[in-house]
Amino acid sequence: MFNKFMFATGIENSVPTIANGRIRVDEMEKCKHYEFWQKDFDLVKELKIRFLRYGPPIHKTYLSADKYDWSFADATYARLQQLQIFPITDLCHFGVPDFIGNFQNPDFPELFASYAAAFAKRYPWVQLYTPVNEMYICALFSAYYGWWNEQMTNDRSFVTALKNIVKANVLAMYEILKVRPDAIFIQSESSEYYHAENPKAIKPAGLMNARRFLSLDLNYGKRLESEMYEYLMDNGMTREEYHFFLDNHLKRHCIMGNDYYVTNEHRVLPDGRTKAAGEIFGYHVITTEYYERYKLPVMHTETNFKQGPEGDEAVNWLWKEWMNVMQVRNDGLPIVGFTWYSLTDQVDWDTALRENNNTINPLGLFDLNRNIRPVGEAYRILIQEWGEVLPTQSVCLSVPIVSHENNFTREDNSKAKESEDNRKDISSLLNAAKK
Given a contact cutoff of 8 angstroms between Cβ atoms, the answer to whether 335 and 300 are in contact is yes
Spatial CB neighbours of 377, under 8 Å, sequence gap ≥ 6: none
Position 262 in a domain? yes
Given a contact cutoff of 8 angstroms between Cβ atoms, the answer to whether 189 and 263 are in contact is no
* Structural domains of the chain, count: 1
pTM of structure: 0.92
Q: How many CB atoms lie within 10 A of CB 164?
A: 24
pLDDT at residue 253 is higher than 50: yes
- Report how far residue 311's alpha carbon sits from residue 81's, in angstroms, rounded to the nearest whole number: 35
Banded model confidence at residue 5, pLDDT cuts 50, 70, 90: very high
Position 427 in a domain? yes
Position 1 in a domain? no
Note the pLDDT of residue 101: 98
Position 237 in a domain? yes
Given a contact cutoff of 8 angstroms between Cβ atoms, the answer to whether 189 and 256 are in contact is yes
Average pLDDT rounded to a whole number, residues 165-175? 98
Position 212 in a domain? yes
High-pLDDT (> 70) share of the chain, %: 90
Position 171 in a domain? yes
Pairing of strands 298-302, 254-259: parallel
Note the pLDDT of residue 404: 62
Beta bridge partners of 298: 256, 335
pLDDT for 410-428, tens place per residue? Answer: 434 444 443 444 344 444 4
- Report how far residue 281's alpha carbon sits from residue 288's, in angstroms, rounded to the nearest whole number: 11
Q: With CA atoms as reference, report the closest residue to 312 among 249, 267, 377.
A: 377
Domain range for 16: 6-434
Q: With CA atoms as reference, report the closest residue to 342 among 371, 362, 313, 359.
A: 362
Note the pLDDT of residue 432: 43
Q: What is the CA radius of gyration of the chain?
A: 20
CATH number at residue 90: 3.20.20.80
Banded model confidence at residue 57, pLDDT cuts 50, 70, 90: very high
- Report how far residue 92's alpha carbon sits from residue 170's, in angstroms, rounded to the nearest whole number: 13
Note the pLDDT of residue 407: 60
Position 224 in a domain? yes
Counting every residue, how long is the chain? Answer: 435
Position 166 in a domain? yes
